[in-house]
Amino acid sequence: MNKEPLIGAMRQMITMFDQEAEKFLSFCYFKTFHQKEFLGRQGEVCQDIFFIIKGITRSLIVDTAGEEHTIHFSLENQFICDYTSFMLQTPATNSLQAVEETEVVVLPRKAIEWGYANLQQGDKLGRLIAEYYFIYFDIRLKNQYLFTPAQRYENLSKVFPNIHNRVPQHMIASYLGVSPVHLSRLKKSL
Amino acid sequence: MNKEPLIGAMRQMITMFDQEAEKFLSFCYFKTFHQKEFLGRQGEVCQDIFFIIKGITRSLIVDTAGEEHTIHFSLENQFICDYTSFMLQTPATNSLQAVEETEVVVLPRKAIEWGYANLQQGDKLGRLIAEYYFIYFDIRLKNQYLFTPAQRYENLSKVFPNIHNRVPQHMIASYLGVSPVHLSRLKKSL
DNA sequence: CTGGCACGATAACATTTGTTTAGAATAACC
DNA sequence: GGTTATTCTAAACAAATGTTATCGTGCCAG
């Protein structure tokens, strides 16, 4: 397998010498998770960031009634973990689960820490990652205010056209914040 | 007036020499907005970050039907602006409005840029601000999934006990994502 | 002082969404 | 290959939330 996609993603944010990149990568390794396997669990302190080479994961949170809520989907070429847990070293509130067979590059905490301390633009990388996710959350939150579940469903279908072939509908419903039965109803009326 | 609260907030994130802090502050100035005045408007590129000395502001967004949605409230000792607009230099989607008479320190773009480039820990400051807001958004989004409007109302009342004395109820309803009429109904049944 | 206006409560009704249950198609498993 | 889960749809009813209209209060500009 090939770590190029990861290097490419990093080089979109900062400039790195080949030596720096190589050293950084030496802390990282590949791993494959099969369907429904957990990359991380609620309650554990998140110690790794994952970069998805192939596959889909979802972040989910379980409420006091035991219901699962899908908070995010993540696809190829994205970084994913419970960042709040990773940054603060507090127990994660989100679990991270493979929706289909998923290959990732694992970036352990020591890789990240080495990067912040030793990459020439380490802090800038951290800032840009945080800013990227900030913008992502900003958009997500606005969507909650501006759009109905039906509209959010249509938007999602545009951004991620073949989601229906890769993700079970009840997870999509959960992500949209409606019951699976209701999503089925909404689809019919579109 | 006194810029100490701003310095204090910055020094909770990074260490600064007094000289650095002084130079940074020389780019900043005080401003007072009266009730309902706008600190920034949807469509303009956000060129300043505000630090609230005294008062309350809200971020709001207007949908295609002309309805206002209150996305955030910001209180004393907080930084506020449309960060997405500020970072990307794109037109702001949020307007920023004083809910009551509000005194702020204005941090113009050139202050921030000078800080990133010249403060010894400039990039770290940027990273921490972005991370701080990341965590804030993370919690906000989880709340949307985990709690009903009634529960969100109770949580808000705990975190911000005298909000009812300082913010009109229809703005609170908008923030919670329900109609003013419905919030009135919810309060009765608690 | 006073007329208008913003604000909030309430009631009645409409719409949206959740819940429960059932059934059929499909996929996973041994 | 057959059995068992999983997934989706559908219908009927319940609960939550939106909408409209009305009323009373307090506030502030003139």
CATH of residue B16's domain is 2.60.120.10
Tell me what pLDDT residue B147 has.
97
A94 shares a domain with A161: no
Q: What is the mean pLDDT of chain B?
A: 95
Question: A124 vs B124: CB contact, 8 Å cut-off?
Answer: no
Is residue B1's pLDDT more than 90?
A: no
Same domain, A84 and A163: no
Q: Is residue B133 part of a domain?
A: no
Does A9 share its domain with A101?
A: yes
Domain identity same for A27 and A54: yes
Backbone φ and ψ of B14, nearest 5°:
-135, 165
The tokens of B121 are what? Answer: 């820990």
Residue among A16, A58, A19, A51 at smallest CA distance from A37: A58
At residue B105, the 3 state secondary structure works out as strand
Residue A142 belongs to a domain: no
A24 and A108 share one domain: yes
- Please check whether residue A115 lies inside any domain of the structure: yes
B105 inside domain: yes
Q: What is the mean pLDDT of residues B66-77?
A: 95
- To which H or E segment does residue B91 belong? none
If asked whether residues A130 and A151 sit together in one domain, one would say no
**DSSP H/E element including B36:** none
Residues A84 and A166 in one domain: no
Q: Is the dihedral of CA A102, A106, A112, A118 positive or negative?
A: negative
Q: How many domains does chain A have?
A: 2
For A179 and D17, how far is CA from C1' in angstroms? Answer: 16
Asked whether residue B87 carries a pLDDT value surpassing 80, the answer given is yes
Residue A105 shares a structural domain with residue A178: no
B149 within a domain of the structure (yes/no) = no
Q: CA-to-CA distance for B53 and B37, rounded, in angstroms? A: 16
Residue B178's nearest nucleotide, by CA–C1', is: D17
**How many angstroms from the chain centroid is the CA of residue A169?**
19
Residues A29 and A60 in one domain: yes
Asked if A158 and A182 sit in the same domain, the reply is yes
Residue type, A72: H
Residues A132 and A154 in one domain: no
Per-block average pLDDT, block size 10, for chain A (190 residues)?
90 95 96 94 97 96 92 95 96 96 96 94 85 92 96 96 94 98 95
How far is B12 from A190, CA to CA, in rounded Å? 51
Q: Which tens digits make up the pLDDT trace of B118-145?
A: 999 888 888 888 888 899 999 999 999 9
> Which range of residues forms the domain containing residue A158?
147-190
Over residues B98-117, the pLDDT tens digits come to 999 999 999 999 999 999 99
Nearest-angstrom CA–CA distance, B100 and B119: 34
Q: Give the integer Cα–Cα distance in Å for B148 and B145.
A: 8
Whole-number Å distance between alpha carbons of A151 and A178: 12
Question: Do the domain assignments include residue A141?
Answer: no
Angle, vertex CA B82, rays to CA A74 and CA B31, nearest 5: 160
Nucleic acid strand C within 7 Å of B188 CB: yes
Separation of alpha carbons B122 and B113, rounded Å = 9
- pLDDT number for residue B126: 85
A88 touches chain B (CB under 8 A): yes
Query: A144 in contact with B at a CB cutoff of 8 Å?
Result: yes
Q: Point out which residues pair with B102 in neighbouring strands.
A: B33
